[in-house]
């Protein structure tokens, strides 16, 4: 197996995080330890005495036996609750009243649309604490630009101009407003480009737009205050390139659209990004400054020696953008030691291979800002987590709990040991059985402070994300046969389930993974069930391609959303592969997931075969020639490609290409404006190292039958809102050649 260090060690560690239990008890007496619960089969869980069990017959009437304890049945959605109740945090309860809603927020807001089209808006109800409420009784009004809006928040506009939209609580006094700008048609025969911030949906003034390829480009047109620029008398197919200071670049290749909507992603160093921060502790008695939401002693499973949690912001546009960075933030350096480490004042006082941090010797490890890791009371400096959130209305989420030191010692030792590297093939099977030990929580409808500018510090707003929802829903997806690339099967499959709370984002609710079976020492097409114990869990007997998982019910304001199940085949983690990372994914959208009591099995969604992957010889990048090439479509269902060139400083260039064979020569950004950096150049990154770019080719399949041009223009589905329609994708790392 390939040994990985740094970011991939941290990424593999994240797979250990996803489950928990409810806390409704049988006896109900309060407790601090098992001794407080008296004689009989009792457990002390979250300061309450709970009856232990092996079957439901050992529990009181109305309770179920789940994970060895008696619990009230959970719910997965409102339909599983009695009339007049709603499902909140996995339990049926009376809905919030209109008087409890003191404020609200509309997403997206502000926003843009084209006259004659529609835009779906969402409103989030908020209580006195500022947290989202499971409340949906709003009335909508819209005025200006010939606008109308229906009871679901679907906005229509017939004219150009600004639209004022208001959502008002029915039976209450709270209301909220936003503005939507409706663009009229472009001038006759002209090509119009509208540049917007992909997160805030605000127009971008001062962006520079050129047409052409390589050195044969037009003079730049500059976008005005409304984000638009026009080229008169344009016919046929055109290459369009959009550049803006502080944003990644975007190109549309061979487009014949005449009204292009160009969402640009902000580009800035992680040191300037704002967001949220929180604090975790082993117990509030040991750390009185710790908020109640951060107390590990109140999470499942209490009394265990290792504390593990991670926090992040919902993926704003689609699961296509799911990565370690978008999930739990960029990496930072911490010094860790399983044994506590010897006291030190400098690196020279530490044993060979160790460094000094916070007065103790240990191993320097890059971990995400959103990851909290503690052994007993030692958190290695990770207890103050950070969540980096983009502009607009966002959702925060977290998954955390306690794991036994016995289970974690074998996993943490190679990660935190002297080598700083880990055999991922050996690590994943150890992590997978631990996915049932954690709890989840979310906070929908938050806004981060603006990002900092050079010379100013970013702002991190205090946020305590309550991990109060147990992982009591179950799915049992059947994974299709793993795809091949260059004649080799991929390494395994990852499943991520989440609330598709668009336009706010994809909010993870649970995850699991399984590795490929082995055939004559090489990857095979089947995936090993990580929970299988038959014949000692050998590949052949357990290669069922079933990946049973637990997930949390929707919570924290995401209730009522559809559930997306992303099943992603991955390659690049074992010696059977070259160094490049390869993904092939399917996204199954479920209207809801019901709670079913054990021993019944969970829903088994049907997953179509994975999309075909392009061969290494069919894609290429030439750095000197600034050339990208795609030879044919590996999968016939591909609708559009996104070729990405990413500099080491994380300046991205997204090049949208229609299906088929194409050779693209990109212009030099400095020829457009000397201030524009070149993603193809060697640059210093946040890690202090200087390196060249990386690249990958992403192929998209959508549930709606759209051409590339329809996606690039103002239509019912645009490139900044693919989340609800993305059905499959592939992503292949492409070596950058000379």
Each residue of 266-318: pLDDT tens digit? 988 888 899 999 999 999 999 999 999 999 998 888 778 899 998 999 988 77
pLDDT of residue 432: 55
Say yes or no to pLDDT of 251 above 80. yes
Residue 714 falls inside a structural domain: yes
In this prediction, residues 427-434 reach a mean pLDDT of 58
Scored b (16 or more CB within 10 A) or e, 593-606 reads: bbbbeeeeebbebe
Residue ending a domain, among 139, 161, 183, is 183
pLDDT of residue 414: 57
Lowest mean pLDDT among 189-203, 227-241, 618-632, 715-729: 715-729
> What's the rounded Cα separation, in Å, for the pair 473 and 553?
6
Say yes or no to pLDDT of 422 above 60. no
Q: Clarify whether residues 262 and 309 are in a common domain.
A: no
pLDDT of residue 339: 66
Residue ending a domain, among 145, 162, 183, is 183
Q: Which tokens hold the place of 601? A: 């099995």
- Tally of domains in the chain: 4
pLDDT of residue 7: 29
Q: Clarify whether residues 227 and 250 are in a common domain.
A: yes
% the chain with pLDDT above 70: 90
Instruction: Please give the mean pLDDT across all residues of the chain.
Output: 87
Q: Clarify whether residues 526 and 673 are in a common domain.
A: no
Q: Clarify whether residues 220 and 279 are in a common domain.
A: no
> What's the rounded Cα separation, in Å, for the pair 425 and 575?
9
> What's the rounded Cα separation, in Å, for the pair 679 and 669?
9
Q: What distances in angstroms separate CA 480 from CA 1, 20, 112, 197, 576, one per listed residue?
A: 24, 28, 40, 37, 20
pLDDT of residue 421: 47
DSSP type of residue 28? -
> What's the rounded Cα separation, in Å, for the pair 265 and 252?
15
Residue 15 falls inside a structural domain: no
Q: Clarify whether residues 470 and 581 are in a common domain.
A: yes
Say yes or no to pLDDT of 4 above 50. no
Convert the pLDDT of each residue in 498-526 to its tens digit. Answer: 999 998 999 999 988 888 998 888 889 99
Residue 545 falls inside a structural domain: yes
Whole-model pTM? 0.90
pLDDT of residue 533: 75
Q: pLDDT category, 28, cuts 50, 70, 90?
A: low
pLDDT of residue 634: 94
Q: Clarify whether residues 422 and 566 are in a common domain.
A: yes
Q: Clarify whether residues 580 and 627 are in a common domain.
A: no
Q: Clarify whether residues 212 and 309 are in a common domain.
A: no
Say yes or no to pLDDT of 69 above 90. no
- Number of Cβ atoms within 10 Å of the Cβ of 293: 19
Q: Clarify whether residues 116 and 219 are in a common domain.
A: no
DSSP type of residue 203? B
pLDDT of residue 535: 56
Residue 260 falls inside a structural domain: yes
Of 161-175, 305-319, 441-455, 573-587, which has the strongest mean pLDDT? 161-175
pLDDT of residue 417: 52
Q: pLDDT category, 378, cuts 50, 70, 90?
A: confident
Q: Dihedral (C-alpha) 363, 369, 375, 376: value to the nearest 10 degrees?
A: 140
Residue ending a domain, among 183, 211, 234, is 183
Q: Clarify whether residues 252 and 145 are in a common domain.
A: no
- CATH number, residue 221: 2.60.40.1120
In this prediction, residues 715-731 reach a mean pLDDT of 87
Convert the pLDDT of each residue in 78-121 to its tens digit. Answer: 999 999 999 999 999 999 999 999 999 999 989 999 999 999 99
Beta bridge partners of 513: 494
Residue 414 falls inside a structural domain: yes
DSSP type of residue 102? -
What order of strands is seen across the sheet that includes strand 275-279?
A: 384-388, 275-279, 460-462
Q: Clarify whether residues 698 and 648 are in a common domain.
A: yes
> What's the rounded Cα separation, in Å, for the pair 297 and 284?
8
Residue 539 falls inside a structural domain: yes
Residue 87 falls inside a structural domain: no
**Residue 43 domain boundaries:** 26-72
Q: What distances in angstroms separate CA 378 from CA 211, 358, 381, one per listed residue?
A: 57, 11, 8
Q: Clarify whether residues 437 and 462 are in a common domain.
A: yes
Say yes or no to pLDDT of 204 above 90. yes
pLDDT of residue 638: 94
Check residues 72 and 4 and name the one with the higher pLDDT: 72
Residue 117 falls inside a structural domain: yes
Q: Which residues contact 565 (CB under 8 A, 6 or more apart)?
A: 475, 477, 495, 496, 497, 587, 588, 589, 590, 605, 607
Distance of alpha carbon 262 from the chain centroid: 22
Convert the pLDDT of each residue in 133-178 to its tens digit. Answer: 999 999 999 999 999 999 999 999 999 999 999 999 999 999 999 9
């Amino acid at each position: 197996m390939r040994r990985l260090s740094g970011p991939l060690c941290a990424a593999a560690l994240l797979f250990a995080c996803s489950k928990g239990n409810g806390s409704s008890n049988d006896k109900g007496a309060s407790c601090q330890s098992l001794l407080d619960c008296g004689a009989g089969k009792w457990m002390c869980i979250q300061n309450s005495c709970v009856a232990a069990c092996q079957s439901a017959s050992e529990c009181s009437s109305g309770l179920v036996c789940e994970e060895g304890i008696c619990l009230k049945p959970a719910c997965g959605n409102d339909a599983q609750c009695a009339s007049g109740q709603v499902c909140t945090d996995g339990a049926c309860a009376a809905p919030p009243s209109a008087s409890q809603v003191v404020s609200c927020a509309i997403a997206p807001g502000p926003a843009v649309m084209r006259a004659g089209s529609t835009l779906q808006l969402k409103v989030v109800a908020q209580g006195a604490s500022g947290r989202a409420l499971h409340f949906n009784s709003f009335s909508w009004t819209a005025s200006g630009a010939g606008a109308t809006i229906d009871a679901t928040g679907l906005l229509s506009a017939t004219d150009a101009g600004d639209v004022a939209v208001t959502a008002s609580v029915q039976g209450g006094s709270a209301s909220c407003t936003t503005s939507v700008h409706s663009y009229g048609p472009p001038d006759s025969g002209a090509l119009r480009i509208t540049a917007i911030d992909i997160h805030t949906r605000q127009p971008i003034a001062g962006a520079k737009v050129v047409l052409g390829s390589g050195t044969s480009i037009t003079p730049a047109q500059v976008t005005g205050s409304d984000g638009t620029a026009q080229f008169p008398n344009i016919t046929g197919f055109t290459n369009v390139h959009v550049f803006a200071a502080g944003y990644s670049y975007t190109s549309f290749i061979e487009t014949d659209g005449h009204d292009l909507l160009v969402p640009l992603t902000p580009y800035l160093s992680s040191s300037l990004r704002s967001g949220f921060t929180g604090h975790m502790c082993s117990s509030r008695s040991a750390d009185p400054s710790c908020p109640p939401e951060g107390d590990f002693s109140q999470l499942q499973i209490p009394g265990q020696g290792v504390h593990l949690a991670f926090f992040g912001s919902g993926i704003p546009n689609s699961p296509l953008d799911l990565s370690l960075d978008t999930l739990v933030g960029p990496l930072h350096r911490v010094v860790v030691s399983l044994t506590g480490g010897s006291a030190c004042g400098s690196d020279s006082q530490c044993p060979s291979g160790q460094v000094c941090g916070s007065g103790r010797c240990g191993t320097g490890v890059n971990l995400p800002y959103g990851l909290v890791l503690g052994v007993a009371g030692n958190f290695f400096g990770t207890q103050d987590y950070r969540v980096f959130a983009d502009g607009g209305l966002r959702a925060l989420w977290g998954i955390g709990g306690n794991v036994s030191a016995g289970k974690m010692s074998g996993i943490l030792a190679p990660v935190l040991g002297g080598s700083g590297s880990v055999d991922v093939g050996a690590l994943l099977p150890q992590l997978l059985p631990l996915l049932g030990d954690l709890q989840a929580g979310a906070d929908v409808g938050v806004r981060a402070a603006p990002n900092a500018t050079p010379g100013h510090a970013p702002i991190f707003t205090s946020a305590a994300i309550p991990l109060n929802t147990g992982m009591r829903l179950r799915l049992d997806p059947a994974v299709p046969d793993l795809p091949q690339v260059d004649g080799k099967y991929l390494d395994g499959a990852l499943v991520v389930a989440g609330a598709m709370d668009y336009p706010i984002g994809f909010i993870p609710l649970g995850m699991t993974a399984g590795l490929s079976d082995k055939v004559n020492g090489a990857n095979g097409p089947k995936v090993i069930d990580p929970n299988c114990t038959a014949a000692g869990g050998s590949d052949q007997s357990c290669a069922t391609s079933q990946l049973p998982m637990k997930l949390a019910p929707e919570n924290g304001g995401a209730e009522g959303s559809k559930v997306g199940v992303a099943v992603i085949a991955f390659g690049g983690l074992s010696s059977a592969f070259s160094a490049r990372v390869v993904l092939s994914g399917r996204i199954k959208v479920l209207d809801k997931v019901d709670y079913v009591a054990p021993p019944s099995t969970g829903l088994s969604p049907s997953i179509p075969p994975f999309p075909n992957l392009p061969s290494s010889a069919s894609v290429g990048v030439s750095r000197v020639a600034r050339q990208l090439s795609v030879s044919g479509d590996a999968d016939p269902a591909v609708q559009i490609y996104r070729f990405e060139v990413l500099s080491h400083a994380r300046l991205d260039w997204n090049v949208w290409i229609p299906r088929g064979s194409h050779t693209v020569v990109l212009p030099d950004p400095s020829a457009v404006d000397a201030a524009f950096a070149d993603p193809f150049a060697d640059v210093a990154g946040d890690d202090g190292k200087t390196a060249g770019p990386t690249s990958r080719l992403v192929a998209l399949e959508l549930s709606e039958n759209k051409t590339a041009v329809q996606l690039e223009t103002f239509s019912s589905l645009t490139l900044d809102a693919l989340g609800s329609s993305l059905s499959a994708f592939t992503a292949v790392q492409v070596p950058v050649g000379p």
